[in-house]
Copies of this chain bind each other. A is one copy, B any other.
């Protein structure tokens, strides 16, 4: 059944596309492949209008009728009902989005870099102009996480979100864990498969995960958190010894993004490698998949799992937003009131209460454990379990602490390094379990 045959069928809605790369091509493809389903669900069709690209000569995976190199022209086109920004980066994306919003045109974007730095201001601009800004695809690709946080959990109180938000590092850690690869080999494999960029810094140093953590924190706690507010450690220091010892203690190592809100309202946000108990749902998130594990007062624990990147998965989230925005346009509803969240009060990072796994190279002589344990006690860090092994010239001590304040653990580590029987602090990895809350 063609929708346009229906009596009183509303006019089709036109999407102007800024960018037609990997995500943009996926958007065009989904809007075409699912045109009938979308029209049936919406009561109106959504068509692709003008598409702004950098160079009009390049080969593209999808055919587009109206290409232009003038992005502003797309924004200004009176036939364009919704602007869809999939070019990425801060500029010119920011100016183009601002221009669309100032004209009262709703914008859908997949731009995590932009939203994690200027999302608050742009949302304010949308509200001031009686329109909306949607960005489901900016976090965790195809996984619906923005809308559940904004809508489904609007009557609940979120305490903490633990996320595996970067597919590249999760792929690398999975290969290290399951196939015994070292970091370099696993990274090479990820690059060969196209999961990692030639310059992998944004992924392996946690910058990408930190941007997504900022967006999630802003939504979960109704406060403005930007990428720069997020404490960040990457995975380059993780060794096969760390992974092997973790496994023997019943843990797997993941790069986690953790955002939490204290009772006083202050927000903590951090990205770092963490040991996760093997029975925790996050432990089974393998390969390049992403997941967000939400802890809230009412619902308890939720997890959202799926592909964190890729052309069609990301496009699925973008088109979901386009349909949602179209519903609003068709019903001519005014957007929700309010001027967006206030600036966040960030909790100091060293206030965080976290469990640690600490691996020490120690002298194999009587009294070592007592000396080490004494130092922990002095700094009010309590030890949960100890594994000691090795021979005379190479003994090691693996200690897992109970949840303790970051600064106390750092002070303990400082003191351990001064201790004569400690040859070295070989690794320090945070542990995430229910004990660490």
* A residues at B contact (CB < 8 Å): 10, 26, 30-31, 33-34, 37-38, 40-43, 136, 142-144, 147-148, 151-157, 222, 279, 281, 283-286, 296-307, 310, 312-313, 315-320, 322-324, 327-328, 330-338
User: Given the complex, which residues of B lie within 8 Å of A315, measured CB to CB?
Assistant: 298
User: Given the complex, which residues of B lie within 8 Å of A323, measured CB to CB?
Assistant: 151, 154-155
In the complex, the count of this chain's copies comes to 2
Q: CA of A269 to CA of B323 in the docked complex: distance in angstroms?
A: 27
Q: A157 near B37 (CB under 8 angstroms)?
A: yes
Q: B331 near A298 (CB under 8 angstroms)?
A: no
Given contacts A320-B156, A322-B155, contact A143 B33 (CB under 8 A): no
Q: CA of A44 to CA of B54 in the docked complex: distance in angstroms?
A: 45
User: Given the complex, which residues of B lie within 8 Å of A328, measured CB to CB?
Assistant: 333
Q: B296 near A300 (CB under 8 angstroms)?
A: no
* Cross-chain contact of A301 among B306, B318, B335 (Cβ < 8 A): B306
A-B contact pairs, 21 of them (CB 8 A): A34-B157, A41-B154, A142-B298, A144-B302, A147-B147, A151-B320, A151-B323, A152-B320, A153-B316, A156-B319, A279-B286, A298-B315, A299-B307, A299-B316, A300-B310, A303-B304, A305-B305, A328-B333, A331-B334, A332-B333, A333-B333
Q: Which single residue of chain B is at the shortest CB-CB distance from A333?
A: B333
Q: Which single residue of chain B is at the shortest CB-CB distance from A148?
A: B144
Minimum distance in angstroms from A81 CB to a CB of chain B? 15
Q: A320 near B34 (CB under 8 angstroms)?
A: no
* New A-B contacts (16) at CB < 8 Å, excluding given A153-B316, A281-B305: A33-B157, A34-B155, A38-B154, A40-B338, A42-B336, A142-B300, A143-B299, A151-B324, A154-B320, A297-B312, A298-B313, A299-B313, A302-B305, A303-B303, A303-B306, A333-B333
User: Given the complex, which residues of B lie within 8 Å of A316, measured CB to CB?
Assistant: 153, 155-156, 296, 298-299
User: Given the complex, which residues of B lie within 8 Å of A10, measured CB to CB?
Assistant: 337
Q: B152 near A147 (CB under 8 angstroms)?
A: yes
Minimum distance in angstroms from A2 CB to a CB of chain B? 15
Q: Which single residue of chain B is at the shortest CB-CB distance from A328?
A: B333
User: Given the complex, which residues of B lie within 8 Å of A334, measured CB to CB?
Assistant: 331-333
User: Given the complex, which residues of B lie within 8 Å of A157, measured CB to CB?
Assistant: 33-34, 37
Q: CA of A170 to CA of B157 in the docked complex: distance in angstroms?
A: 27
User: Given the complex, which residues of B lie within 8 Å of A41, measured CB to CB?
Assistant: 154, 222, 338
Q: Which single residue of chain B is at the shortest CB-CB distance from A286?
A: B279
Minimum distance in angstroms from A248 CB to a CB of chain B? 20
Q: B153 near A320 (CB under 8 angstroms)?
A: yes
Q: B317 near A152 (CB under 8 angstroms)?
A: yes
Q: CA of A320 to CA of B296 in the docked complex: distance in angstroms?
A: 13
Q: CA of A323 to CA of B31 in the docked complex: distance in angstroms?
A: 30
Q: Which single residue of chain B is at the shortest CB-CB distance from A157?
A: B34
Q: B330 near A337 (CB under 8 angstroms)?
A: yes
Q: B155 near A136 (CB under 8 angstroms)?
A: no
Q: CA of A284 to CA of B279 in the docked complex: distance in angstroms?
A: 8
Q: Which single residue of chain B is at the shortest CB-CB distance from A319?
A: B155
| Shortest Cβ-Cβ A-B pairs, 10 listed | A155-B319, A333-B333, A298-B316, A43-B337, A144-B152, A142-B299, A299-B316, A303-B305, A302-B306, A154-B323
User: Given the complex, which residues of B lie within 8 Å of A296, measured CB to CB?
Assistant: 316
Given contacts A152-B136, A332-B333, contact A304 B307 (CB under 8 A): no
Q: A298 near B222 (CB under 8 angstroms)?
A: no
